[in-house]
Structure 1
């Protein structure tokens, strides 16, 4: 029996490592046609070769550049004739105490974590409206539900992702478009490597000692996509069993 996900065209940002790469593996194995975007083209090429993707099913993409995001989605449509799922996965987490005044890092988080999601929505929405179908999956975080010291700006970006996604959910009903927010807790990725504040980095490293594998995230995404068209999984919040906050 053919699964719902088979032959769906899925665009993934931040696909060169971590959550994005592992999700690409899971979805490709399930029969989806994945199109990958990330800044590190060498890693994309390696993953594309591993998954035996079409040579055009990847593109160097900086999510803070709207034209590059549009080009990635256009490539998927030109290659496969449609786009069924947009996974806005790219993100940064250079957390720090506000009095450290790491303003450049604040700006970068806002550009990647918020504007990157908005640019992804802008790129796919006209195609999905025309198709009268589609699904937009935005990645928030446990930090989009709880704020702790050192995480004010990062949490702010992830709360914004949830707010944008909820507004989107309500607006796209006339076109049968589904929306999903995925909010992971401590999942093993390169995300903590973006932290430059040594005190925060040490504390986060301890939290991530019991991080669960990226495959846990990939299974959540696969579950949300693989529902019948009349089922809309709007939000999933998950943590390691041992994570208390």
Structure 2
């Protein structure tokens, strides 16, 4: 397969790392925007704090100089600041909005010309059940994921006739960090293989949104984010 340039955010661990690694084995040239660098050469990392628009602009400019054309963009990075509205520090709210939502808007804005010129642009956006299933303490996370879902749909409508195929992955519990019930969660490596199939889908169709749930469930607790992890 001819090498293709791929941009991924948040690839230094968990789902992001698994997806980056999988696409690398399939011949993609991976380019990563990470706040904390992993330090592996194949990832072609650019250090970038996605909560800061100036850093995003600078990173995209460097990326364009280095690659020319990006054919696939996987918007994965997100932060989870959990607190009641009353107790949440303003800086946590603003950091969440900037990282989870504004960064995606800016990357889509800046990379659309490159995705169009590639002739087969693909955008995959990592969503969450939190966009539809709300919980106590989830004001910042739920609100930004819900807005990201809306942004994804608008982007589809604006770019589908220009050859860009955009997919929102609406995912349940993923085994990103070692916590309870890990054996019940979606394995990042399996998710990466599935995302690859979406990225390679062809024909006269567009996969707008895919909802993924763990096969096995447990009884959820009564409160907090864990309620949505076992839908």
TM-score by length of 1: 0.80
Whether the 8 Å contact between 1:15 and 1:36 is mirrored in structure 2 is yes
Q: 1:17 to 1:105 in 2, by over 3 A?
A: same
Q: Which has the higher helix share?
A: 1
The question of 1:40 aligning with 2:36 is answered yes
CA gap 1:212/1:79 in 2 versus in 1, 3 angstroms: same
Is the 2:71–2:114 contact (alpha carbons within 8 Å) kept by the matching residues of 1?
no
Tell me the equivalent position of 1:219.
Answer: 193
**1:173 to partner: Cα distance:** 2.3
Q: Secondary structure at the match of 1:63?
A: coil
**Closer/same/farther in 2, CA of residues 139 and 75 from structure 1, 3 Å limit:** same
Extract unaligned runs of 5+ from structure 1. Answer: 193-204
Q: Distance in 1 between matches of 2:110 and 2:33?
A: 13
Which residue of structure 2 aligns with residue 162 of structure 1? 149
| Structure 2 Cα separation of the partners of residues 185 and 88 of structure 1 | 17
SS at match of 1:156: helix
Q: Distance in 2 between matches of 1:151 and 1:206?
A: 20
Aligned equivalents of 2:200, 2:137: Cα separation in 1: 36
- The CA distance in 2 between the partners of 1:229 and 1:65, in whole Å, is 38
Cα RMSD between the aligned structures? 2.2
Give 1:25 deviation, angstroms.
Answer: 0.4
The secondary structure found in structure 2 opposite 1:100 is coil
How far does the alpha carbon of each residue in 1:18-49 deviate from its partner, in whole angstroms, 9 at most, with x for none? Answer: 111111100000111111110112x1x23x3x
Report how far residue 85 of structure 1 moved. Answer: 0.8
Residues 1:77 and 1:101: Cα distance change in structure 2 (over 3 Å): closer
Stretch moving more, 171-180 or 101-110: 101-110
Residue 229 of structure 1, CA deviation: 5.6
Question: What is the aligned partner in structure 2 of residue 233 from structure 1?
Answer: 207
Deviation larger for 208-217 or 14-23: 208-217
2:11 alignment partner, SS class: coil
Identify unmatched segments of 5+ residues in structure 2: 218-229
**What is the rounded CA distance, in whole Å, between the counterparts of 2:132 and 2:181 in structure 1?**
17
- Distance across 1 between alignment mates of 2:168 and 2:16: 15
Match for residue 100 of structure 2 among 113, 118, 141: 113
SS of residue in 1 equivalent to 2:124: strand
Measured after TM superposition, the shift of residue 131 of structure 1 is 4.1
Q: Which residue of 2 aligns with 1:195?
A: none
Residue 24 of structure 2 is aligned to residue 21 of structure 1: no
Match 1:93 to one of 65, 72, 80: 80
Do the aligned partners of residues 232 and 73 (structure 1) sit closer, same or farther apart at CA in structure 2, a change above 3 Å counting?
farther
Q: Which of residues 5, 10, 27 in structure 1 aligns to 2:6?
A: 10
TM-score w.r.t. the length of structure 2 is: 0.85
**Post-superposition CA distance 1:166-217 (Å, at most 9, x none):** 0010011231111111122111224x9xxxxxxxxxxxx5465633322133
Contact 1:15–1:24 at 8 Å: present in 2 too? yes
